[in-house]
Amino acid sequence: MLLLTPGPVQTRPETRAAMAVDIAPWDRDFGVEYIAIRERVRDLAGGVAGVHATLPLQGAGHFMVEAALRTFVPAGGRILVPCNGAYAERIIRLAREAGRNPVPMPVPDTRRVRGDEVAAALAADPTISHVGMVYSETGSGIINDPAEVGAAVRAAGRRLIVDAVSAFGALPFDLKAQPECDAVLFTSNKCIEGLPGIGFAICPMERARERAGKAGSWCFDLGDVLLHAERSGWGSFRFTPPVQALHAFGVAMDLYVAEGGQKARLARYTENMRVLRAGVERLGLRPYLDAAHQGPIILTLHQPDSPGFTLQGFVDALKRRGVLISNFFTTKTPTIRIGCIGAVTPDDMRGAVAAMGEVLAEMGVAPRVAA
Ligand SMILES: *Cc1c(COP(=O)(O)O)cnc(C)c1O
């Protein structure tokens, strides 16, 4: 089966095979492996040894976002959330339920968030301490720019939290150039192409240390993750980790480096997107974003306005041809979402486009000439 879902993604056989072992997380040999993963992740984020640290947590990306909000935004504090998609709305919900005060800043979901509008919102409200942003909006496929937004946050003397879950590893990020950033977040199962199970926050250590104990949750306290590492060693865990997923993540990192790292991964995903987008346009499907705003991570398409079409029917018929896409959408109007990330190639995309053509014909959706 070819997974064209924006997480969990298609993985390489070597990565999956690494899961098939029993490991004790407190074993000394595994501790060495875990320390190496933390250092590699920090370096990949543009972090600096002794200044920044990788603070992992068991679980999904939402857990990382909640942990960062609880750790860095003071209880009752205000966080501006520029909102151009479903994942920004999730930051808002997580902040509210954690007893923080999200300040939504609506932005159309067909373009990126601009630094000048963030600057204006911060200037208008000095009580806002933080900005929470999504790097790659997996809702629509829009890419926001953390360097641009971060510059506005820095100039206003506020702090930044970046949900980079569907971006990290493919799109560039440089923590040392963004001293306003409290946390950049991602998980094992998106652009690094590992298995699901663990999330990562890369944070300035000084900030995490001073915020320890203030999260209102032991589990979600990234400051406590840091204090534990400093007390018990960087190879140690507070609670039982998904140790096989971590081990496989190490293999996925090796494959990532062997491929050529961030630039090579971005190039492959960009080509996946180019082939897919051109192919589905030839089939008469209409992208949700215009070409200038299309990111390389996820392609969102308007569902065909045809009586024969249902999303579940389309997904099921594609699955019979060996291609699996999401059976849900998060845009306000009905869409189809197709991931371009994971261990997939432009040739896989050509095959997927051919399968989609067959399915549309089977469903009686007439091909149209693309506008
Ligand atoms: C996938 C994703 C998440 C996290 O999803 P989980 O299912 O909790 O792992 C968060 N933010 C963005 C932008 C994502 O794409």
Residues 121-133: pLDDT tens digits? 999 999 999 999 9
In this structure, are 323 and 239 located in the same domain?
Answer: no
Same domain, 236 and 313: no
Which of 211, 238, 257 is the last residue before a domain boundary?
Answer: 257
What pLDDT, in 10s, does the model give residues 78-111?
999 999 999 999 999 999 999 999 999 999 999 9
Nearest residue (by CA) to ligand 1, atom 4, is: 61
Q: Domain for residue 114, yes or no?
A: yes
Residue 313, domain CATH = 3.90.1150.10
Residues 73 and 191 in one domain: yes
- Both 154 and 203 in one domain: the answer is yes
Q: Which residues form the domain of 119?
A: 13-257
Query: Can you tell me which atom of ligand 1 is nearest the CA of 63?
Result: 8
Mutate to test the pocket of ligand 1, among 163, 200, 331 (most ligand atoms within 8 A of CB): 163
Same structural domain, 229 and 283: no
Q: What ligand 1 atom has the least distance to the C-alpha of 134?
A: 13
Tell me, yes or no, whether 8 lies in a domain: no
Asked which of 210, 235, 257 is the last residue of a domain, the reply is 257
- At 31-60, the pLDDT tens digits run 999 999 999 999 999 999 999 999 999 999
- pLDDT (tens digit per residue) in 280-337: 999 999 999 999 999 999 999 999 999 999 999 999 999 999 999 999 999 999 999 9
Question: What's the pLDDT score for residue 366?
Answer: 74
Cα–ligand 1 centroid distance for 367 (angstroms): 33
Residue 304 and residue 245 share a domain: no
Check whether residue 214 and residue 301 sit in a common domain. no
| Statement: residue 370 has pLDDT above 50 | no
Predicted TM-score of the model (pTM): 0.97
45 belongs to a structural domain: yes
How far does residue 188's CA lie from ligand 1's centre (Å)? 11
Q: What pLDDT score was predicted for residue 371?
A: 45
Q: How confident is the model at residue 368 (pLDDT cuts 50, 70, 90)?
A: low
Q: Are residues 177 and 269 in the same domain?
A: no
Condensed to tens digits (0 to 9), the pLDDT of residues 169-224 reads: 999 999 999 999 999 999 999 999 999 999 999 999 999 999 999 999 999 999 99
Residue 208 CA, ligand 1 centroid: distance in Å: 22
- Per-residue pLDDT at 104: 98
Does residue 1 lie within any of the structural domains?
no
* Domain co-membership, 164 together with 240: yes
Residue carrying structure tokens 């953390």: 146
- Measured from CB, residues less than 6 Å from any atom of ligand 1 are 6-7, 60-62, 87, 134, 136, 138, 163, 165-166, 187
Spacing, Cα 364 to ligand 1 middle (Å): 34
pLDDT at 367: 66
Residues 137 and 59 in one domain: yes
Asked if the structure places residue 243 within a domain, the reply is yes
* CA 185 – ligand 1 centroid, Å: 10
Distance from the alpha carbon of residue 308 to the mean position of ligand 1, in angstroms = 32
Q: Is the pLDDT of residue 68 over 70?
A: yes
218 & 135 share domain: yes
* Total domain count, the chain: 2
CATH number at residue 104: 3.40.640.10
Do 172 and 206 lie in one domain? The reply is: yes
User: Is 63 inside any structural domain?
Assistant: yes
Residue 59 in any domain: the answer is yes
Residue 194 lies in a domain: yes
What's the pLDDT tens digit per position in 212-267? 999 999 999 999 999 999 999 999 999 999 999 999 999 999 999 999 999 999 99
Point out the ligand 1 atom lying closest to the alpha carbon of residue 166: 15
Domain boundary among 257, 285, 311: 257
